[in-house]
Structure 1
């Protein structure tokens, strides 16, 4: 039930980028409600739906936009850090709601190291070299996401213990993407393009400019999208997603693996 700008918590009517009309209305609760409304159309009775959902795979990838909306609208890292328990609890409660509906196989992804994403590198550019790690990523922002991921892992562990008839899979998107940044050639990416968006303003730092985002006037597309980690500075490229899918299916970056 993914929605554009999807979040765990409810930010109805809030703008992701103030003044640009990117409003958020895809909270986890609204997505769950959309699923409940749809179920009778696809599986009929409540019992039939429980059986149907028991044979389905669910993927939770929430949290990234919860931090993005706070940080791009002026919250400090310290303020955003205070919201971690609330965001994680919202995600785990959503997983539990799915379990009550009949879901058995649920995969939950942690949050990517977005301090390596062109959008963050553009928005939070710093003159202090100490704010960056050795790979050019924003150190303190990634520490925020690491803390979220630690809370999430602990929450999922408790949930799995409580619902032992389910299979809750923890996908480690953060480690996988950061390894791509650390060793881009191993994954087929360009050393000079790993932190550059492919579609955007080519001559802007990291290829990202809010006034010339992908598809807007002044934007262009690179010649080799497969050499980039991100497509438009905010979303991963097809090449990156291919690696991620393989890692999740095989279990290299997902415990337990989707395929077993």
Structure 2
């Protein structure tokens, strides 16, 4: 499994046609932390892996027409959130240049990043498969390093961050993925959930202490519906699958993580009543469209990857998207899954719309009055 994946984590969702309004959200800046679901270039810039496939086509082909370091064919949820606030796309922290204007926000997410520090994985003898050591705590350190360039006095910072959105995740999926891919059981994964949730809640706490007043914290998507899990953990027993073809046990695990995360956020709301801590229900968004893929334009289904090297779900670890033997579909907008691991731009768009217009952000994101 050492050479398993370029970008993690990944989950199955679905796409949607139609633009996201450029005047929907009321934020002057957005700061994002996470992994490959929202990385806009940090992994590529970090040099953690030589010649990663996300650095070449077909990655980026749909919207940008060239690879950008995003693990998709086009834009991500964080890109649509920026558009909805009328802001430029968030520059990756590792790509910031001297004199560059980053007052409208910065992206600290790194593909392959974990909620727990890399030390945890080395102590459990799985550190060798990590794709990056830039965990959530490292990303938070980057933010603290950048903060003096954003504001100096407490009064200035309070005014600035009052109009900022902090997106904390999705993060934590890789903590489970790395363990799963080296043979970890669901029972072992469940045992690590409190640690992962504590790390996410700790990150939110630190950001609030640094001045954040509005935070969006996404939960896990149904990993039992993702092509890579369906390929690696396929079962001969029909009862292991739900009626939509997803692995029941892994989806139940996602729901368990989400329940624990929501509980932790409730505690934070009591501790910091002045802050708006928003839970993004990715799981509910995914399952709703998974039930009726054609309704949302996914005529090629939601379990099969657009770009891959064959197999029942078009995911082949020996011919992953971008590698020799793989091929991209002609119309990614008819697929929810891009490379067996990550989503298409169409899928990210529907998730973004669900967050911006509801009902998957609780409480709702801050909007302009209609």
Q: TM-score, normalised by structure 2?
A: 0.66
**Relative to structure 2, which stretch is displaced further, 146-155 or 51-60?**
51-60
Structure with larger RCO (C-alpha < 8 A, sep 6+): 2
Give the whole-Å Cα distance in 2 for the aligned partners of 1:204 and 1:128: 19
Residue 165 (structure 2) aligned to one of 54, 57, 60? 57
The 8 Å contact of residues 208 and 232 in structure 1, kept in 2 or not, is answered as yes
Quote the residue 2:137 is aligned against.
29
What residue number does 1:147 align with?
A: 256
Q: Given the alignment, which residue of 77, 91, 112 partners 2:221?
A: 112
Contact 1:207 1:233 in 2 (8 A): yes
Q: Which residue of 2 aligns with 1:72?
A: 181
Q: Larger helix proportion, structure 1 or 2? A: 1
2:360 matched residue in structure 1: 253
Write the distance in 2 (CA, Å) between the matches of 1:12 and 1:215. 31
8 A Cα contact 1:133 1:139, kept in partner = yes
Which whole-Å CA distance do the structure 2 matches of 1:259 and 1:53 have between them?
14
Could you tell me whether the CA contact under 8 Å between 2:130 and 2:178 is conserved in 1? no
Answer yes or no: is the 8 Å Cα contact 2:129–2:178 preserved in 1.
no
Q: TM-score, normalised by structure 1?
A: 0.92
RMSD across aligned C-alpha pairs, in angstroms?
2.0
Q: CA deviation at 1:31?
A: 0.8
What is the alpha-carbon distance in structure 1 between the residues aligned to residue 120 and residue 261 of structure 2?
27
**1:113 Cα deviation (Å)?**
0.2
**CA distance in 1 between partners of 2:129 and 2:220 (Å):** 25
Alignment of 1:1-260 (within 5 A): 1-11=108-118, 23-45=131-153, 47-60=155-168, 61-190=170-299, 192-201=300-309, 203-260=310-367
Determine helix, strand or coil for the equivalent of 2:174.
helix
Cα deviation per residue 1:87-142 (whole Å; 9 max; x = unaligned)?
A: 11111111010000000010000000011011111111111222111111111011
- Taking the aligned partners of 2:329 and 2:136, their CA distance within structure 1 comes to 34
Displacement of 1:26: 2.5
What's the CA shift for 1:54? 2.7
1: CA distance, partners of 2:117 / 2:348: 27
* Equivalent pair of 2:114/2:172 in contact (CA under 8 Å): yes
CA–CA separation in structure 2 for the residues paired with 1:47 and 1:12: 37
Unpaired runs of 5+ residues, structure 2, are 1-107
Structure 1 segments of 4 or more deviating over 3 A? 12-15, 44-51
Shift of the alpha carbon at 1:52?
2.4
Aligned length: 256
Match of 2:38 in 1: none
Residue 167 of structure 2 aligns to a residue whose secondary structure is strand
Asked whether the 8 Å contact 2:293–2:301 carries over to 1, the reply is: no
Q: 1:123 to 1:46 in 2, by over 3 A?
A: farther
What is the rounded CA distance, in whole Å, between the counterparts of 1:57 and 1:138 in structure 2? 34
